[in-house]
């Protein structure tokens, strides 16, 4: 993916369904499938869109009660999900059945403080099952 900035940078334009469809284009159904799944009775997660002045963009925080599970940022024709794990999760992640490329990326990431980031660029629905596995670990 290109190294660019998130596209939801205008504080006055909230990320409505119409806005997200316009930005994500063909990837919007994948985003919608993920949101529908995580907010269903199976997961009962909540999505909270907020404009963050420090990053100058809208981000979606996905939470279970008050605990942050992961973040979503929207880019031109794809979106990113970002998880943050403590090193205590290393073994669970490596044994989770997620793809080797995601495990490799996670293991190579340097911790930020006590948390190790794992960011996935989402532009195909094959990645939803990987995200769901990570949600099950984080939840």
Number of domains in the chain: 1
Q: Is 29's pLDDT higher than 80?
A: yes
Q: What is the pLDDT of residue 106?
A: 96
Q: Is residue 7 in some structural domain?
A: no
| pLDDT confidence of residue 6 | 80
Q: Does residue 1 have a pLDDT over 80?
A: no
What is the domain extent for residue 27?
A: 17-138
Angle, in degrees to the nearest 10, between helices 28-38 and 126-138: 30
* Per-residue burial over 114-139, b = 16 or more CB atoms within 10 Å of its CB, e = otherwise: eebebbbebbeeebbebbebbbeebe
Answer yes or no: is 4 within a domain. no
Distances, alpha carbon 7 to alpha carbons 2, 86, 104, in Å:
13, 29, 28
Q: Domain for residue 132, yes or no?
A: yes
Query: What is the token pair recorded at 18?
Result: 């119409």
Vertex 113, ends 8 and 3: CA angle to 5°? 35
Return the residue matching tokens 């660029």.
121
* Per-residue model confidence as pLDDT tens digits over 65-113: 999 999 999 999 999 999 999 999 999 999 999 999 999 999 999 999 9
Contact of 70 with 138, CB cutoff 8 Å: yes
* 103 occurs within a structural domain: yes
In a domain, 12, yes or no: no
Residue with tokens 């529908």: 36
Is 8 among the domain residues? Answer: no
CATH of the domain at 31: 3.30.1460
For 63, the token pair is: 């939470």
Q: How confident is the model at residue 3 (pLDDT cuts 50, 70, 90)?
A: low
6 in any annotated domain:
no
Is 67 within the bounds of a domain? yes
DSSP code of 34?
H
């Amino acid at each position: 993916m290109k190294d660019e900035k998130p596209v939801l940078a205008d504080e006055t334009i909230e990320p409505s369904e119409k806005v997200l469809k316009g930005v994500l284009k063909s990837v919007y159904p994948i985003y919608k499938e993920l949101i529908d799944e995580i907010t269903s009775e199976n997961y009962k997660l909540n999505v909270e869109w907020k404009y963050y002045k420090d990053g100058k963009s809208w981000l979606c925080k996905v939470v279970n009660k008050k605990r942050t599970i992961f973040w979503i940022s929207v880019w031109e024709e794809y979106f990113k999900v970002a998880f943050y794990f403590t090193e205590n999760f290393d073994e669970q992640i490596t044994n989770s059945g997620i793809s080797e490329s995601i495990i490799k990326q996670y293991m190579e990431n340097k911790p930020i403080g006590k948390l190790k980031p794992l960011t996935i660029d989402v532009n195909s629905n094959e990645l939803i099952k990987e995200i769901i596995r990570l949600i099950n670990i984080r939840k």
